[in-house]
Amino acid sequence: MTTDTPARLLRLLSLLQTPREWPGGELADRLGVSRRTVRRDIDRLRELGYPVQATKGAEGGYRLVAGKAMPPLVLDDEEAVAIAVGLRAGAGHAVEGVDEASVRALAKLEQVLPSRLRRRVSTLQAATDPLTSGDGATVAPETLTLIASAVAGQERLRFAYRSRDGTGTRRLTEPYRLLSTGRRWYLVAYDLDRADWRTFRLDRVSDPFATGARFTPRELPTGSAAEYLRQSMYRRQEAYAFDVTFAAPAELVAARLPGWLGSPEPVDEHSCRLRGTADASPAWLAVRLALFDCEFTVHEPPELLGCVRDLGARLTRAAGGTTP
């Protein structure tokens, strides 16, 4: 236990993050310094922008409260594992607006995650995410974080890519941005061999590898990466339109809808119609629709219709073949 000031500040921060009140005396004991020094340390934390609330009088104490900036989170082993598992599960069904930040956070965490915890994370992860099963094309979290790191660190990225017709190629790219359209992940990158910009579906990427080589990012011809991706997807017609009527008010459907699927238009008070586009397989969308516990009708496309019919038939069979 050295008398190192910065180390003590970090320990104080970690103590204060436990959601409870800490009397000054106890903090002084734990940190091995005098009460006065504890007060000074707390002043320092406040100056750093991490407000510490103090209740005076007997039974008083200190407690870290919400401030203007996020203080460094001090996590114990189990909490770190929980966050990693949660983020990896979440990386599958990405929520619009958080997806990319979520992967960044995961990359940051896994960069420093002790190896003994890493094992626990991968073990636990097997038990998660029922929804990924609907559509075979999933992305390994390792792939996601590795590519996110390469984007952030501006390192060249090499990987194997399986194109739509099944042929495999090896690519050397300058990764530009990671994007998700609800269900799928895409990488927008400059392909060095083809000497042009490309978009890659991450579920077709394998063996990604960050060569240490740094690069200075080129300018994307189209304005934003999201715009470029959208154009590229429409060009290849990877997305398809669907059309469904729900026997529920529009606002109810909207509240329970992933958002990136589109927004429903009210037909009358008790029903609404949803026309949108999806880039996932119809089978996955069918399961998704089954989750709504209200009547609905599928109009388009025929593939979706077939999937819903099959799922319905399977469930009916499941209920029919009962044994007394």
Partner DNA sequence: TGTACTAGGCCGGATTCTGTCCTCATCGCA
Partner DNA sequence: TGCGATGAGGACAGAATCCGGCCTAGTACA
Q: Which residues bind DNA (CB under 7 A)?
A: 2-6, 8, 23-25, 33-37, 39-44, 54-62, 212
Binding partner of residue 321 among its own copies, DNA, none, CB cut-off 5 to 8 Å per kind: its own copies
**Secondary structure letter of residue 260 according to DSSP:** T
Binding partner of residue 34 among its own copies, DNA, none, CB cut-off 5 to 8 Å per kind: DNA
Distance CA 247, CA 273 (A): 9
Distance CA 81, CA 127 (A): 14
**By C-beta, is 61 or 134 nearer to DNA?**
61
Read off φ and ψ for residue 141, nearest 5 degrees.
Answer: -55, -30
**By C-beta, is 2 or 237 nearer to its own copies?**
2
Helix, strand or coil, per DSSP, at residue 185? strand
**By C-beta, is 231 or 313 nearer to its own copies?**
313
Q: Least distance from C-beta 12 to DNA, angstroms? A: 10
Q: Least distance from C-beta 149 to DNA, angstroms? A: 19
**By C-beta, is 126 or 195 nearer to its own copies?**
126
Helix, strand or coil, per DSSP, at residue 240? strand
Q: Least distance from C-beta 283 to its own copies, angstroms? A: 7
Binding partner of residue 68 among DNA, its own copies, none, CB cut-off 5 to 8 Å per kind: its own copies
Could you tell me if residue 154 is left (phi over 0), alpha (psi between -120 and 50 degrees) or otherwise beta?
Answer: left
Closest CA to 99 of 153, 199, 180: 180
**By C-beta, is 170 or 315 nearer to its own copies?**
315
∠ CA 86-92-96 to the nearest 5 degrees?
A: 95
Q: Which amino acid is at 60?
A: G
Q: 23: which 2 tokens?
A: 């009397």
Distance CA 187, CA 179 (A): 6
Q: Least distance from C-beta 178 to DNA, angstroms? A: 27
Helix, strand or coil, per DSSP, at residue 104? helix
**By C-beta, is 163 or 294 nearer to its own copies?**
294
Binding partner of residue 72 among its own copies, DNA, none, CB cut-off 5 to 8 Å per kind: its own copies
Distance CA 298, CA 254 (A): 17
**By C-beta, is 37 or 232 nearer to its own copies?**
37
Beta strands 61-64 and 168-181: pairing type? unpaired
Written as one string, the DSSP assignment of 131-164 is GGGGSS----HHHHHHHHHHHHHTEEEEEEEE-T
Binding partner of residue 64 among its own copies, DNA, none, CB cut-off 5 to 8 Å per kind: its own copies
Closest CA to 19 of 65, 59, 79: 65
Binding partner of residue 50 among DNA, its own copies, none, CB cut-off 5 to 8 Å per kind: its own copies
Q: Least distance from C-beta 106 to its own copies, angstroms? A: 9
Distance CA 164, CA 206 (A): 14
Q: Least distance from C-beta 45 to DNA, angstroms? A: 11
Q: Least distance from C-beta 10 to DNA, angstroms? A: 12
Binding partner of residue 60 among its own copies, DNA, none, CB cut-off 5 to 8 Å per kind: DNA
Binding partner of residue 201 among its own copies, DNA, none, CB cut-off 5 to 8 Å per kind: none
Q: Least distance from C-beta 1 to DNA, angstroms? A: 12
**By C-beta, is 42 or 146 nearer to DNA?**
42
CB 163 within 8 A of CB 169: yes
